[in-house]
Structure 1
Amino acid sequence: MSRNYKFHNQEFPYFVTFTVVQWIDVFTRIEYKHILVESLKYCIKNKGLKLYAWIIMSNHVHLIIGTTDKPMQDILRDIKRHTSKTIIKAIKENLQESRRDWLLWFFERAGWKNPSNEYYQFWQAGSHPIELFGVKMIDQKLDYLHNNPVAAGWVDKPEHFLYSSAKDYAGDKGLIDIELMF
């Protein structure tokens, strides 16, 4: 693994991304997004996660994070492990999920290819952490993260997208209690 994609300094915030295998659009369903939201809330309360910014797109997640307790790589590992198992279970139980059989087949197939998995693989390996040092770099990542749904054509303004911290940075209250960077 490249030295560039590791957490080297737990004192700095990091920009991380995790992606559904093969970029499958899973987060088009509200219930799957809420599993991720609840997991982030849990890690803030119980694992020392400092969440500065976040967004859930249809097939990937961007976060700007820090820590007050456990190492960031351990927190992310736990988030990915918990959400993958919980989302797979939700897909299995969701009789309204028109893609249920296909999704489960695909995640099972991806799991067979990775000996680290018990059965299914939901997330791609890695989170590509980028250490954020300096205001310019933080601004760039905040802009990029919050403007994702605008670039996708889903909303006109970042703060109109419910599943992100853009509302918080616009002075309103979002779904998750975050720590503003500025």
Structure 2
Amino acid sequence: MSTKYKVYNPEGIYFVTLTVVEWADVFTRRDYCELFSDSLSYCQLEKGLTVYAWCIMTNHAHLICSAPKLSVVLRDLKKYTSRFLIDAIKANPRESRKNWLLWMFKSAAAKSVSHGEYQFWQPAGHQVELNSNELMEQRLEYLHQNPVKAGFVEEPEQWYYSSARDYAGKKGRLEVVLIE
């Protein structure tokens, strides 16, 4: 088992990437982004998650965050969102990709003994401790520039599902603790 991206420092601040299996573009629908955002809010209120920065892209999400038991919080977040996002896809009458997405999630789960019928997230999360100001600034810039580099917006704060709005002095979707 790889130890490359493990949470070793319980007091550390981490850059986390959660990726949808096969890089499927699920977060192109507002309903799914809202479900993921609501789940992050729940983890903030109930599980001690502190979010310093975040961004949801079409097929992955980035967080700069900390929590007393970050590995457990991330595990629970992935488990919960996986189940409810798949349910939302199944129930969405406007989801034109429903059969393809469910087939992909089912195929991914068939390759793993630890998943049920469907697997939404790639198993290994990417967690990197941000143990220097330079690394913190680099990852913060990368996270907020993601939608700009993808060509979705011209300025980072234009992306609704990102903390770039907070860093630009506007009210964002989630509560964040700004990195000074």
Other structure's SS at 1:65 match = strand
Structure 2 alignment gaps of length 5 or more: none
1:94 is matched by which residue type in structure 2? N
Match for residue 80 of structure 2 among 79, 82, 105: 82
Partner of 1:95: 93
Give the aligned residue type for 2:93: L
Partner of 1:16 in structure 2? 16
2:47 corresponds to: 47
Question: 1:175 matched to which residue of 2?
Answer: 173
- Deviation (angstroms), 1:122: 0.4
Q: What SS does the aligned partner of 2:51 have?
A: strand
Q: What's the CA shift for 1:2?
A: 3.4
Mapping 1:30-179, distance limit 5 Å = 30-67=30-67, 69=68, 71-179=69-177
TM-score by length of 2: 0.98
Distance 1:4 1:106 in 2: 27
Structure 1 unmatched ranges of 5 or more: none
Q: In 1, Cα distance between the equivalents of 2:17 and 2:168?
A: 23
Q: What is the total number of aligned residue pairs between the two structures? A: 180
Counterpart of 1:130 in 2: which secondary structure? strand
Give the 3-state SS of the residue equivalent to 1:102 in structure 2.
helix
Whole-angstrom CA distance in 2 between matches of 1:85 and 1:95: 18
Distance 1:2 1:113, change over 3 A: closer
* Displacement of 1:11: 1.0
Q: Secondary structure at the match of 1:129?
A: strand
Please give the root-mean-square deviation of Cα atoms over the aligned residues, in Å. Answer: 0.8
Q: Secondary structure of 2:18's partner?
A: strand
Distance 1:100 1:4 in 2: 34
Residue 16 of structure 1 aligns to a residue in which SS?
Answer: strand
1:135 deviation in Å?
1.0
Q: How far did 1:81 drift?
A: 0.4
Query: CA separation of 1:3/1:110 partners in 2, compared to 1, >3 Å: closer, same or farther?
Result: closer
Measure the CA separation in 2 of the matches of 1:133 and 1:3.
Answer: 17
Divergent runs of 4+, >6 A: none
